[in-house]
Amino acid sequence: MANLTEQERAKLLDSIRDVKDFPKEGIVFKDITTLLNNPEALDILMSHLESRYRGYNLDFIVGIDARGFIFGSILADRLKVGFVPARKRGKLPYRTISESYSLEYGSDEVEIHLDAFRGIDGAKVLVIDDLIATGGTAGAVVNLVKRAGGVAVESCFIVELKFLSGRERVASPIYSVLSY
């Protein structure tokens, strides 16, 4: 597996915009849309992930709603594996299983289709999203993977906000490309 060079890491970090006081005062939002519209940075990122996961012999990639869909579908195509969307409750058209998780004020739910892994018991699954903060959503998705008969071999995040300790809520190994 190829590691990012310092130059590649710097290019990725420079391609992520900080937006102060979003979505509320005191928050510095890490905006990956500027990475997405930078073809060189996106290629560095996706080539790195492709190299990392090529030898994992994955069956599926589960992308978390919504930015995980972008990275997950590109990577699934590159690795020639299935892509499964994990969506907010009520967004998937077929029978689903759901998992709730805590938010700062209240809770939310995430779902996948009941047949997401096409009956492959023990399917090797990579969970991917743009960012891990408190880990609630990612932890719920990893639980869904298990309930659907899969094995979350790793959860991958483009950015990790380490000071929020989100990895402690996720029952799979974690890989973060960048961390703050």
The percentage of residues in the chain with a pLDDT greater than 70, rounded to a whole number, is: 99
In order of their start, the domains of the chain are: 57-179 (3.40.50.2020)
Render pLDDT for 53-93 as a digit per residue (tens, 0 to 9): 999 999 999 999 999 999 999 999 999 999 999 999 999 99
Check 6, 25, 95, 104 and give the catalytic one. Answer: 104
CA atoms of 84 and 12, how far apart (whole Å):
26
Check 9, 67, 78, 109 and give the catalytic one. Answer: 67
| Contacts made by residues 168-176, CB under 8 angstroms, sequence distance 24+ | 168/135, 169/134, 169/135, 169/136, 169/138, 169/139, 170/132, 170/135, 170/138, 170/139, 170/142, 171/139, 171/142, 171/143, 171/146, 172/127, 172/142, 174/132, 175/52, 176/132
Render pLDDT for 8-27 as a digit per residue (tens, 0 to 9): 999 999 999 999 999 999 99
Active site residue 95: no
Considering only residues 102 and 58, tell me which one the structure prediction assigns the higher pLDDT: 58
| pLDDT, mean over the chain | 96
| Residue 103 pLDDT class (50, 70, 90 cuts) | confident
Active site residue 118: no
Pairing of strands 82-88, 106-113: antiparallel
Amino acid (one-letter) located at 176? S
